[in-house]
Structure 1
């Protein structure tokens, strides 16, 4: 099947959302530009890592541009609390993700590449050479995995961070003793010697 590369220069909506109850939620990354909608299945840890890196990027941008440049000014945004758009049809499962600051445009580019066989079954020679980190496959590789590329303003990045943090926090609360998420009917806490909490 031919590779699909989707570029959203001006994305209308870029969110993380879930389907299901806490403890059984499926996470999705969704981007919409006009009538074009891309839905990517992802792990909670991927969403959390993306937010963590975006927060670090914003901090670094502010530090480098502390001279009153527009980047350092207050960024206003309206948080999008609407649910995922229907139908939720998974286009691919997220594999490699990359974040790039486009200084000339004052935009953040996020690239999400589909998980590939190379990621599931890594090349042994790469592991031996110490280069086992997955990489984005160049656009000209027609047999590569699908790719979504979006460009976001700083306000959109702040909105994405705020929403994603609230989606992640809406899951099961961790046990105060062991840190393991507590199911609705409790859990057997290893630090409480197996007693139900």
Structure 2
């Protein structure tokens, strides 16, 4: 089956959200641009890692003076709107790469596959791919929303930092007693 490459250049919307009850949530990202719209399933750990890498990238851009002071000082794009319906995942995200090109943050999200490498150059073959060009203020907005979505889940145990279900959990730091 030939590879499908979805291009969002520039992306007008780049968000993450979760559906379901804490402990049973599914995470989705939506990318939108003029004429294109994608929804992909993503792992919570990938959301956390992506937000951390974005924040690190912004620090590096500031430290290396690679972006204009105006772009770095621009306020985050706030997007509190829910996911657009219908929520039908185009694929599950496997590999993500982030680059800084032509004053844009370029995010490549490749579908999960047997391969653990990102195949950007091969246009004809490989897992489906989303290429999104983002401005720095969109990246800041994504990080703000990602942190809210991730932290809206189950609270962490104060003793072991594992997630606590509504009925409590067996805490390894309490020798297996329920907390």
Question: Normalising by structure 1, what TM-score?
Answer: 0.85
- Which is greater in Rg? 1
Q: Which of 151, 173, 176 lines up with 2:133 in the alignment?
A: 151
Distance change >3 Å, CA 72–CA 31, structure 1 → 2:
closer
- Retained in 1: the 8 A contact 2:72–2:136? no
Count how many residue pairs are aligned between Structure 1 and Structure 2.
Answer: 179
- Structure 1: give runs of 5+ residues left out of the alignment: 119-133
**Secondary structure of 2:92's aligned partner:** strand
- Retained in 2: the 8 A contact 1:62–1:72? no
Q: How far apart are the structure 2 equivalents of 1:164 and 1:75?
A: 19
Q: Render the CA deviation track for 1:51-94: whole Å, top value 9, x for unaligned.
A: 1111111000000118x943565121342111111101010010
- Retained in 2: the 8 A contact 1:62–1:71? no
- Structure 2: give runs of 5+ residues left out of the alignment: none
Q: Render the CA deviation track for 1:27-54: whole Å, top value 9, x for unaligned.
A: 1111011352211111000011111111
RMSD, matched Cα: 1.7
Moved over 4 A (4+): none
Partner of 2:99: 100
Q: Render the CA deviation track for 1:115-152: whole Å, top value 9, x for unaligned.
A: 1123xxxxxxxxxxxxxxx3211343422000000000
Q: Which of 154, 168, 177 lines up with 1:186 in the alignment?
A: 168
Q: How far apart are the structure 2 equivalents of 1:2 and 1:90?
A: 18
Q: How far apart are the structure 1 equivalents of 2:46 and 2:59?
A: 20
Q: How far apart are the structure 2 equivalents of 1:19 and 1:138?
A: 30
Q: Which of 169, 172, 180 lines up with 2:154 in the alignment?
A: 172
- Retained in 1: the 8 A contact 2:106–2:131? yes
- Retained in 2: the 8 A contact 1:30–1:37? yes
Question: Normalising by structure 2, what TM-score?
Answer: 0.93
Partner of 1:131: none
Partner of 1:127: none
